[in-house]
Amino acid sequence: MVEVVAVLVIVVVLAAAAIPRMMGTSDVAARVTADRVLAALHYAQVLAQRQGVPTSAVFADEPIATVTAGLTVYQSGVQVSFATQNYDGSTDPSGLYNVSLEPEVAFAPVSGVVAYGADGIPTAGAGISYTFAGGGVTFKIKVEQTGFAHFE
């Protein structure tokens, strides 16, 4: 009986060490992060075009606070800030959409802004490439002069 318990303890310890390494692979995290950022850039451009108001995606190395179930979590990320147009024609600049980056993913440049005008054409940040790396793989996202963002 003692041997069975000892074997179970060893198996549990090995599983506790191995499962997080297998589940948190950095190459998958890098791809997921790059996909999230690309979606955020597309969202910012479409929102600017549809609402007719300037929209920007802000890359921040500083932690972004998100609150989930009463718990505040700080992660590096991309904030898409936007102004919504009200029915009376005024704008409300309080819109915010956060994309948290995985902690094991490095990105460069670590700060920057891609700002879209009301027509969806970038007023800042066009021509910049953002690189996301983790687990030995690298993904690059480029923002064209037209505002279209894509993988390089």
Domain boundaries, the chain: 26-151
CATH number for domain 26-151, candidates 3.40.50.12500, 3.40.50.620, 3.55.40.10, 3.50.50.60: 3.55.40.10
Structure tokens belonging to residue 34: 């790059």
Residues of the chain with pLDDT under 70: 18-25, 60-98, 100
Question: What pLDDT shows up at residue 140?
Answer: 92
Question: What pLDDT shows up at residue 119?
Answer: 86
- β-bridge partners, 71: 68
CB atoms within 10 A of CB 20: 9
Question: What pLDDT shows up at residue 69?
Answer: 60
Contact status, residue 128 vs residue 140, Cβ threshold 8 Å: no
Question: What pLDDT shows up at residue 86?
Answer: 62
Q: How many CA atoms lie within 13 A of 39 on its CB side?
A: 11
Q: 101-110: per-residue pLDDT in tens? A: 777 777 788 7
Round to the nearest angstrom and report the end-to-end CA distance of the chain: 59
